Structure formats: structure tokens, C-alpha cells
Amino acid sequence: MSVAPPDFQPVSPRPPSQGFTRPANPFRPFAPSPNWRADFSAGFLVFLIALPLSLGIAMASGVPPIAGIVTAVIGGIVTSLLGGAELTIKGPAAGLIVICLGAVQELGGDDPLLGAKRMGAVVALAGVVQVGMALLRLGKLGDAFPTAVVHGMLAAIGVIILSKQIHTLMGVTPLAHEPLQLLAEIPQSLMRANPEVLGIGLVSLGVLFGLPKVPLAWLRKVPAPLVVLLVAIPLGALADLAHPHFYQFNGHDYSVGPKYLVSLPSELLSAIPWMDASQLFTLVSLKYVVMFSLVGTIESLLSAKAIDALDPRKGRSHLDRDLLATGIGNTLAGLVGALPMISEIVRSSANLNNGARSRWANVFHGLFMLAFVGLVPGLLHLIPLSALAAMLIYTGVRLSSPKEFKHVLEIGVEQLGVFVITMVVTLATDLLVGVAAGIVAKVLIHMVRGVHPRDLWQARITREPSEGDAVLLRVHSAAAFTNLLGLQRHIEHAADTAKKVVLDVSEVVLIDHTTLQRLHHLVDDLSRAGLDITLVGLEKLEATSDHPFAVRRQPV
């Protein structure tokens, strides 16, 4: 995303226009794409990435592998036809592994299959909740969610994925279950590692981390997960993982066999864990309904916005319509006991980079997935689990990379504090508590900096006439993530009746990072609609860092 200068110079409006024209009904039907060849090619390449990831995410979530495939098929063929984010790919995501595994374990106890079935009912109800949120036009909630909290949550998810998948990479079943305990058990697992299984995993990791750095441009364009499969499947055959046997290495005996490969029944439909709603309205189930609804919605909305920012054609997603489609998709996925889906950022980025032009790329990706599983299901059984673990470890490293800490610190020390609190509390408890802790920490920081609690929740804005057809909106007290939606409504209401809007923030006690970032995007969006919008007064405020979106406050 390009960074705007600190004073937010207005973007020149596109002529001609009469004020701010709202987009047409976002729930309208869509027209087929004339660029089907580009979408067909992009969909095939995304399918090559999505196939192994869908299997790995399902197995890491404690559900049958076919559940991940079913979600990808529904997300591609059904949800994409209804969605409002043209270029995003819907499917299972690593960011929800933690919630899925927790739901399976808590709802099923010692019976993972029962847990998967009961989780299906939870996912279906969460989808209904998302549909309701979309109909209430709550897609804008993603705009107001604190960035530091989101990144802290994702970093914690990355660490949790790493803590679990490292043991799978080594061919070891750990004794611990909690993330911090799993991390502490890594040295013991390393001493018990199965050399052949570990070797396949390390080679897979080498491909994932090394392929983007090779000097050959044409080779870098090949999807890394595909290369991993092309390497790992022959290595698994060389180690004869399909047949149970013992071997010796460095004077020690080790065993390998089909348990180190993807396990699929001969009849795939029989493996689908159709939902069980017997525990749907218990406190445990309702807790996970909230978590799936909250985290899934936020991740989907943020992914859609990120892809909009990367799209060279500068398309804009209809977030409410896309949330509606995601909710419908999750309801269908839950009914058949599949995994929940979101707009997934890695596959969506690959879709865009490979030339996708419309939603049909997602449809083709789903069709390829369905055709592959229907025609050559036996090939899936040849995939070593350590190769799938390597792909998830790669994802976990990217989510929790030290670069994320550095990026957040550049915005401000207080942002790093919120980030770390969210991450640590999530690791020590669960996602819902961690996210709540991050939000509370951010609110307390605002109050320490002089914002009255009342002003955190209500946008205090006065509207004044200005020169010509302009309207001046003067913001008082605080402009924070907690009252951002109210501030946004004031701006859009003024845009309905004026050709030019001036937003003056010189009198605010504080304007936070989330608000500044959103205002930057709002200025861009409204300028594209033909409205001249200007943000003034930032130069009178003191920034907490050199970052253009750093928190601003009145000079001390």
C-alpha cells in the first residue's frame, strides 16, 4: 500500500460529477467476464496452491482432509458467484486453524470426528450470524478494528501454527497441547525425530524459503507449493512411506508407514463429517460461534481491502455483499461439516499476480479442485504430512515474522505495546480473550493521553458552511477507532450534499493510527467518486513517531 504524505493532500477529483455518488446496490447481480482465458489460467495456478494448503489446514484443524477440499469447492463455485470482492479467493485459512482445533477438541473430547461434526453446526450458525451482519450493513466494522490488535492476533496465530506443525514436520507426536508448552517440547521432539520424515520436511521448507530467491525469473513464477509436491511425493515414494516398515539410522531403529501420508478413505463422500447440532446452543458452542463470526469477518474484510489496494485497476469491493456471500458459504460448509472459509490473502494475492480479471478465476479454481478430487483422489494419499506441515510452518513464520514487530514499532511504541499484549494474551489464553485484551489496552492508552471516556464512543463534530459549495466539518475531542464509524457517517452525509468537504482535526485531543489510515482510504475513495475532500489541521498536532499514520495529539 502506498503511503500518503503526512498532510494528506487531496486527490484531484475525476470530472465530471455532482457531489458524492453512492455506488449502486452492492447486492445486484453480476455479469460474466469476457476475460475468461486470463481467469482460467489464474484459477488453475491458484488451484495448484490451494490444493495442498486446503489439505494441510484441514489436518492441522483436527478434521478429515476432505473437509478442507469441500470448503475450497464451496468457496470457489458458490460463494464467488455471490460475493462483492471480485479477485479474492474464498477457502479455508491458516488464520482459523487455532479456533477450529479448539472447537474440535472442546466439542468432541476424545472423539475428533464427533468434534468435527459438532463444529460443523457451529460454523453453520456463525455463517447465519455473518449473513445478518451483512444485511445490517456492518461490513464497515473492519474499517474500525485497531490495526495493532489485528496484527497481534495474526502473529499469535502464526506462533501457534509453528508450535504444532514443527512436531509434525519431525514425525513426532508431542505430549503437550498448549502453544507455549509445545514450543518448550521442541528440543525433546528433535531428539526423537524420524530422520526420513524430517528430511522430507526440511527439503520442503528449503523449497518454500529458497524458491523466491532463485535468480531465474521464470522459476520464481512457479507456485512454491506445487514444487513442494513435485519434490516431496517422489521422496515419500523413495522412503516407501506407503508400506509399514523399519529402518536403521545412526544406530537407531525407526518406523515409517502410511500414517505419515495424507489419509483418505476409498469413498470420499463417506469421510465428510456431516454436522451434529446436538450441542449447538451450549456455552462452549456459542463461544466458538462468536469467535468464528468475529475473527472470520475481520480477516475476510481486511483481505478484501488489501487486494483492492494491490489491484492495478483500483477496483473497490462491496464489503457488505462479500460478507453476505461469505456467510452463505459458511452456512453451507457447516451443514456438511466442512471448515469455515474466509477471503484468504495469500491465494488472493497469487490470483491477482497471475492475471485474474474477475470472480471467474475463483470459480475456475473451485472447479479444478472438484475435478481433481473426483478424478484422481488416489494421488492425494501420496502426499507426505511433513510436506504439508512445511507449508503451514512457512505461513506461520510469515505471520509472526520479526518484521511485523519492526513494522508496528515504526508506527509508535504504543502500537507495539498493543500488538504484544494481544499476542501474549492470545498465546496464554485464547483468541477472543487476546483480542479483547488488545482493545482494552488501546482504550486505556487513549485515556492516559487525555481522552475522556465519553468522547471515545461518540464523534463530536460540528458542521459549518464554507466558501462556495464547500462544507467544513470540525472534529472536536477525539478521533479514535471507537468512534470512527460515526466520523465516517458524518463525512459521507456531507458528501451527499456538497461538492467539497473540508475535515478540520486541529482541535482534537488525539487522532489515532486506525482513524488516520482509514481517512486516507476514505479520501481516495470519495475522490474517485468525484468529491473534493481535504483533511486539514494535522500540522498543528504532535506526532508520536515519523510514520505518516502515527498517532497525533495536541502539543504538550
**266 within a domain of the structure (yes/no):** no
End-to-end distance of the chain based on CA atoms, in angstroms?
A: 32
Do residue 219 and residue 80 come from a single domain?
yes
**185 within a domain of the structure (yes/no):** yes
Tens-digit pLDDT profile for residues 164-189 = 999 999 999 999 888 999 999 999 99
Q: Which residues pair with 245 in a beta bridge?
A: 256
- Give the DSSP H or E segment for 54: helix 36-60
Do residue 48 and residue 165 come from a single domain?
yes
Give the per-residue SS3 of 464-518: EECCCCEEEEEEEEEECHHHHHHHHHHHHHHHHHCCEEEEECCCEEEECHHHHHH
- pLDDT given at position 116: 94
- pLDDT given at position 34: 66
Q: Which of 114-118, 221-225, 312-316, 419-423 is predicted least confidently?
A: 312-316
What is the distance between the alpha carbons of residues 47 and 283, in angstroms, rounded to a whole number? Answer: 37
- Domain edge (last residue) among 358, 373, 394: 394
Question: Domains in the chain: how many in total?
Answer: 2
Do residue 190 and residue 336 come from a single domain?
yes
Do residue 348 and residue 459 come from a single domain?
no
The full DSSP string for 223-254 is -HHHHHHHHHHHHHHHTTTTS-EEEEETTEEE
**216 within a domain of the structure (yes/no):** yes
**382 within a domain of the structure (yes/no):** yes
Q: Which of 94-103, 310-319, 416-425, 475-484 is predicted least confidently?
A: 310-319
Confidence of residue 370 (pLDDT cuts 50, 70, 90): very high
Do residue 139 and residue 277 come from a single domain?
yes
Q: Which residues pair with 534 in a beta bridge?
A: 502
Residue in this structure with the C-alpha cell 476424545, named with its chain if needed: 110
**pTM, whole model, 2 decimals?**
0.84
**116 within a domain of the structure (yes/no):** yes
386 pLDDT higher than 80? yes
Do residue 389 and residue 469 come from a single domain?
no
What is the distance between the alpha carbons of residues 380 and 52, in angstroms, rounded to a whole number? Answer: 9
Amino acid at position 518, single letter: R
**174 within a domain of the structure (yes/no):** yes
- Domain edge (last residue) among 379, 394, 409: 394
Supply 78's cell numbers: 458458490
The parent domain of residue 465 ranges over: 453-553
**69 within a domain of the structure (yes/no):** yes
Do residue 175 and residue 59 come from a single domain?
yes
- Domain edge (last residue) among 347, 374, 394: 394
Q: Which residues pair with 532 in a beta bridge?
A: 500
- pLDDT given at position 9: 36
- pLDDT given at position 266: 67
- pLDDT given at position 268: 67
Do residue 332 and residue 457 come from a single domain?
no
> Phi first, then psi: what are they for 332, rounded to 5°?
-65, -45
What is the distance between the alpha carbons of residues 552 and 512, in angstroms, rounded to a whole number? Answer: 6
Query: Within 10 A of 113 (CB to CB), how many other CB atoms are there?
Result: 16
* DSSP reduced 3-state for 253: strand
Residue 509's domain is classified under what CATH number? 3.30.750.24
What is the distance between the alpha carbons of residues 477 and 130, in angstroms, rounded to a whole number? Answer: 33
Confidence of residue 18 (pLDDT cuts 50, 70, 90): very low
**445 within a domain of the structure (yes/no):** no
Do residue 359 and residue 460 come from a single domain?
no
284 pLDDT higher than 90? yes
Do residue 305 and residue 186 come from a single domain?
yes
